[in-house]
Amino acid sequence: MPHPHVLLVTGASRGIGAATARLAASQGWAVAVNYVGNSLAADEVVRHIRAGGGRAIAIQGNVALEADVLRMFRQIDAKLGPLTGLVNNAGVVDVACRVDNLSVERLHRQWSVNVLGSMVCAREAVRRMSTRHGGEGGSIVNVSSVAATLGAPGQYVDYAACKGAIDTFTVGLAREVADEGIRVNAVRPGIIDTDIHASGGQPDRAQRLAPSVPMQRPGTAEEVAQAIVWLLSPAASYTTGAILDVSGGR
């Protein structure tokens, strides 16, 4: 039976995505938990949601591949019903690297996942949500980064540039579909204590950089999830095109 509130969270097997999936489910969303490789972690998020009485499914797919995105959305249509929420959370970082040492392969990976993936997922969501296409409306939240405003010099300027693109995309899409029942917003996390830092070769990065944060600590995935789920909710009904920093003041 179709669920009235259907949410796709990309990259939801860990970190901010997993926290968002769990919190959204506790507030009545049926959640599609997307993952690219770690099926055990995605299944654990689904088990947690179902144990609490919620509804969730795990869906494998690489957002950088259009065929995977199309398959994911078809599965959601068939198993949960019409999509009403999307969180574009899937993202990758890489090891610290100056621009003069960047490889084209690294740049392609960064842009394919962090930018193109979010845009193609948003395209498919709009096709389902927009009143222009016969939909009932919905909400999209893009996960950006404070790196978009800081530039991440000496670390990953390429990643920061990707997130700058996401900020611009958020504002443009929000204005494009504002009268079609769709709200589009973004959150910009700062230093958040998740394992994405380890994937960039710096597992201790969140704690090491804590003194540079005005609040003197890293944030948690759950704190970012609270902002995302609020933006998805009817409580944010007059909010679109907003970019909300969740950064401890950084």
Strand order across the 56-60 sheet: 56-60, 30-35, 6-9, 85-88, 138-143, 182-189, 243-246
Known catalytic residue at 156:
no
One-character DSSP codes across 54-102: --EEEEE--TTSHHHHHHHHHHHHHHT-S--EEEE------S-B-GGG-
Catalytic residue among 35, 156, 159, 238: 159
Cα 246 from Cα 223, distance rounded (Å): 8
Cα 69 from Cα 63, distance rounded (Å): 6
69 neighbors 124 (Cβ within 8 angstroms): yes
- Paired strand residues for 187: 143, 244
Residue 132 gets which letter from DSSP? Answer: G
**Residue 130 neighbours by CB under 8 Å, 6+ apart:** 137, 177, 180, 181, 182
Residue 105, classified by CB atoms within 10 Å of its CB into exposed (0-12), middle (13-18) or buried (19+), is exposed
The residues assigned a catalytic role are 159
